[in-house]
Amino acid sequence: MIRFGFACKVIGIPGTAQTGLTLARASEENLLEVSRKNLFALGNMIKYCKTEGVALMRLSSDTIPLASHPDISFDWKEQLRDELQTLKRQITQTKIRASMHPGQYTVLNSPREDVVEHSAADLVYHADFLQALGCDHSARIVMHLGGAYGDKKEALDRFEQNFLALPKFVKDRLALENDERIYTIENVLDMCARLSLPAIFDVFHHALNPPEHGDMGYWLNRAMSTWSSDTGPPKIHYSQQLPGGKPGSHSLTVSLEEFLTFYESLGSRDLDVMLEVKDKNLSALKCKNLTDKGLPRKKLTDEWARYKYLVLEQSPNHYGRVRELLKSEQPEAKDFYRHIESALKEETTPNRAKNAAQHVWGYFDQLAGPKESRQILADLENFEADPRAVSRVKRKLFSLAEKNQVTYLLNSLYFYFKKAGHLTLTLIPP
């Protein structure tokens, strides 16, 4: 069985956004307020995963802002005890597999003692956070081996030495991942054998930085063998090259055809696949639906409810084709997502944008006040002359959806940026 997950953010679901905090604003009051909001948002993300059947999710390292900073003494475990207990119950009930991935400055094999010290403190925070949430040992802290610093052997020995100095509860949470430039999956497996750790096989990094021998299947099988019943199902990372981007740039979304080729190559393997793409949960649901042989028709109609006005805005042609497709008793998920992908690659026109906005406005023309109606109708007539009119209308329509709690529209991807065939992580700006 192949299960799919995503990292850190949910697109298009109100109440799931997390925020950061600068050191200059890191008073205890602000730390408590932002952390509470972030934990509440995390709870909503977990609810979303349960509703959609998403089995794994990477948690943001910044959920508790600045938690491992040496100048911060915020006792988050005590101050947020109630919120953490609530999340613990959620995770226990949903059985979601969590993970975390510290940032690029958490490097255990650095020759600088201060960097290693900070890295160790950061790993302690990550392990503490997973422990506070009651996560079992399938919940891993994923990290790279670090830099080479002119001598890979010495750097690897230093990694081992610094790893062994970590507290046991931290060591018991780690998993190691191959990177795209320095350490191959072979290097990672050697270190995992030395330290009795599981290996995360990153498919994209492997394509960029493979060992001198063996194909993907060989190294994938070796990585899978490092996992056991104590550490959970084998886990890998999957992403694609960003078209036109520099080598190693992650794709904005999972391209259907490339993904299906990869999926077929997995055969009957039992794996958890973390998707590392910019459109997060959208690609996770896409991959889940594409690989579900018994996919209920309702799953696609629910997906269509979120995409329909965005697709109408981009391509009335594909909008009509999807509507026809969904009249079938057993519509093909592949055909559905091919139309979505094709529509998002098109550029809208003022007339298309106006048509979509008028459809959404139909929910409110009897609910909006006279002033709101005049403003929206005036902007609708001005789409061609004033490009900013589209954003203004979308902001007003979204505000009306919030005011009237029209859940159908609040969950619509129509209100999100579209760029180069993908959706950004933010609503249309004010």
Residue 110 CB burial class (10 angstroms; 0-12, 13-18, ≥19): buried
What b/e string do you get for 401-411 counting C-beta neighbours within 10 Å, with b at 16 or more?
A: beeeebeebbb
Instruction: Specify the pLDDT at position 430.
Output: 46
My answer on whether 145 and 114 are in the same domain is yes
Residue for token pair 């201060």: 114
Q: Domain count of the chain?
A: 2
My answer on whether 210 and 358 are in the same domain is no
My answer on whether 322 and 274 are in the same domain is no
pLDDT at 311 over 90: yes
My answer on whether 226 and 310 are in the same domain is no
My answer on whether 342 and 279 are in the same domain is no
Instruction: Specify the pLDDT at position 422.
Output: 55
In SS3 terms, 145-175 reads as CCCCCCCHHHHHHHHHHHHHCCCHHHHCCEE
Q: Which domain holds residue 213?
A: 2-290
Enclosing H/E stretch for 393: helix 388-403
Query: How many beta carbons lie within 10 A of that of residue 51, not counting itself?
Result: 11
My answer on whether 143 and 285 are in the same domain is yes
My answer on whether 356 and 282 are in the same domain is no
Confidence of residue 257 (pLDDT cuts 50, 70, 90): very high
Q: Which whole number is the average pLDDT over 101-111?
A: 94
My answer on whether 238 and 333 are in the same domain is no
Cβ pair 134, 86 in contact under 8 A: no
Asked which of 290, 324, 355 is the last residue of a domain, the reply is 290
Q: Which range scores top for mean pLDDT: 239-243, 309-313, 343-347, 418-422?
A: 309-313
Confidence of residue 128 (pLDDT cuts 50, 70, 90): very high
Q: Per-residue pLDDT tens for 385-404?
A: 888 888 889 989 999 999 99
CA distance 9 to 58: 9
My answer on whether 29 and 135 are in the same domain is yes
Q: Which residues fall within 8 angstroms of residue 54, CB to CB, at 6 or more apart? A: 4, 5, 6, 48, 96, 281, 284, 285, 288
392, amino acid identity: R
Q: Per-residue pLDDT tens for 30-70?
A: 999 999 999 999 999 999 999 999 999 999 999 999 999 98
My answer on whether 142 and 9 are in the same domain is yes
For the entire predicted model, the pTM comes to 0.91
Asked which of 272, 290, 308 is the last residue of a domain, the reply is 290
Instruction: Specify the pLDDT at position 417.
Output: 65
Cβ pair 106, 113 in contact under 8 A: no
Q: Which residues fall within 8 angstroms of residue 136, CB to CB, at 6 or more apart? A: 232
Average predicted confidence (pLDDT) for the chain: 93
pLDDT at 146 over 90: yes
pLDDT at 273 over 90: yes
Confidence of residue 168 (pLDDT cuts 50, 70, 90): very high
Instruction: Specify the pLDDT at position 190.
Output: 98
Asked which of 290, 318, 351 is the last residue of a domain, the reply is 290
List 183's β-bridge partners, or say none.
none
